[in-house]
Amino acid sequence: MVARIITCLIGAFLLLQSFQWIIDPVSAAGGLGMTLVEGVGKNTQIGDFTSFFFSAGLFALIGAVKQQHQWLYGSICLLGGAAIFRSLSVVLHGSEPLISAIIFEVLMSLFLALYAYILRKETI
């Protein structure tokens, strides 16, 4: 029950982040250590980040509400992939790491994977 509630909170947080990208993209970008670019880059930044947070949040919430592990894998891939590719960006391109985001993404991915494992064990 606790894992389900925490998963709902993760999903709700991610959905709120997606709404912030639509309502106030300047502060949403700032929260990730970015400035909002101009032109078509702005469209890409807002569209892609909104989609990322919306999808990750929605899949986590559906997985928790339906108590079906399959829904959680989308969130795990998005969050885990972000952590992996952020880290690769540091190694391959010398970018400055946003440590807090990497830690958040790793911890949330691991938690969601654990919850997916628990749900899967319950259905076997």
Model confidence over 31-78: pLDDT tens digits?
999 999 999 999 999 999 999 999 999 999 999 999 999 999 999 999
pLDDT for position 123:
84
Is the pLDDT at 124 greater than 80? The verdict is: no
Residue 24: is its pLDDT beyond 90?
Answer: yes
Query: What is the tally of structural domains in the chain?
Result: 1
DSSP state of 96: P
Query: Is residue 109 within 8 Å of residue 4, measured between CB atoms?
Result: no
Apex 86 CA angle, 80 and 89, nearest 5: 140
| pLDDT given at position 110 | 97
Q: In angstroms, rounded to a whole number, what is the distance separating the alpha carbons of residues 54 and 46? A: 12
* Model confidence pLDDT, tens digit, residues 80-98: 999 999 999 999 999 999 9
| Residue 89 belongs to domain spanning | 2-123
Question: C-alpha angle with apex 57: 64 to 103, nearest 5 degrees?
Answer: 100
CA distances from 83 to 86, 89, 92, 103, 107 (A): 5, 10, 14, 8, 10
**Measured CA angle at 84 (ends 78, 86), to 5 deg:** 95
pTM, two decimals, is 0.92
